[in-house]
Amino acid sequence: MISSPPDGYTLLLTSTANAINASFDPTLPFDFAKSIAPVAGVARIPLVLVVNNDLPAHGVAEFIAYAKANPGKLSIASSGIGTSLHLSGELFKAMAGVQFTHVPYRGSAPGLTDVMSGQVQGMFDNVTSSFELVRAGKLRALGVTTHERSEILPDVPPISDALPGYETSSFYGVGAPRDTPREIVDLLNREINAALTDPAIKQHIGELGALPITGNSAEFRTMLAAETERWRKVVEMSGVKKE
């Protein structure tokens, strides 16, 4: 995409992975922030800490207490090393002062399956892929990673209620090649924002547990910079880098 013509016909679906990889992957041959023209945000997705139903913890405070009382006995799944799911767990460990073993999987589904079976005890996962399992009683949700509750899991409190200052989420947006003319960027931004206010699209996004990200391209640029800096700090704190 970076070398594509800046004509508005080739776009990139940006995500949390781009913000993380800016510091997680030292082998990247480009500077993500300088290589694209931010166009518009699309959606922000809260994560949720879910655990096996047999774990004797029914809230974040109880989970922290259990982890401290049982050092080395907890295993936490993720969708892979360096993902927002993995690093959300690393941030939680550091802020809560607990230890657990990270078990990376190739995607959320196998990780969630092993949490349900008790092979691992918990997982930080996007609400979009886990809320149905929580609603069905197959997993227990302890807390969401955003400061606000999720509309699809309204009874699950924010983790920050028990761990002040904790916050993470996933996001998606749209970028274009760096030299895309301003008028094209503005046109694309207007159309994307208009789509996000369409009642049917807005309803579908909400049903997935996501929140629309609206605003102009400058606001999205600011958001990308803030997310990149947020995850840079988490990557540095965790000490995890791509080998």
pLDDT digits (tens, 9 = 90+) for 7-17: 889 999 999 99
DSSP sequence for the chain:
-TTS-SSSSS-EEEEHHHHHHHHH-TT-SS-HHHHEEEEEEEEEE-EEEEE-TTSS-SSHHHHHHHHHHSTT--EEEESSTTSHHHHHHHHHHHHHT---EEEE-SSHHHHHHHHHHTSSSEEEEEHHHHHHHHHTTSSEEEEESSSSPBTTBTTSPBGGGTSTT----EEEEEEEETT--HHHHHHHHHHHHHHHTSHHHHHHHHHTT-EE----HHHHHHHHHHHHHHHHHHHHHHT----
Structure tokens at 175: 């970028």
| Nearest residue to 85 via CA among 105, 99, 57 | 105
Nearest to 124 by CA among 139, 209, 135: 139
Question: How confident is the model over 67-86, as a mean pLDDT?
Answer: 95
36-45 sheet: strands from edge to edge? 12-15, 170-177, 36-45, 211-212
Q: What percent of the chain is predicted at pLDDT more than 90?
A: 88
> How large is the average pLDDT for residues 88-98?
96
When the pLDDT of each residue in the chain is averaged and rounded to a whole number, the result is 95
Q: Above 80 in pLDDT, residue 3? A: no
pLDDT number for residue 36: 93
Within 13 Å of residue 147, how many CA atoms lie on the same side as its CB? 2
Pairing of the two strands 75-78 and 101-104: parallel
**Per-residue pLDDT for 1 more than 70?**
no
Residue 103 has pLDDT above 90, yes or no: yes
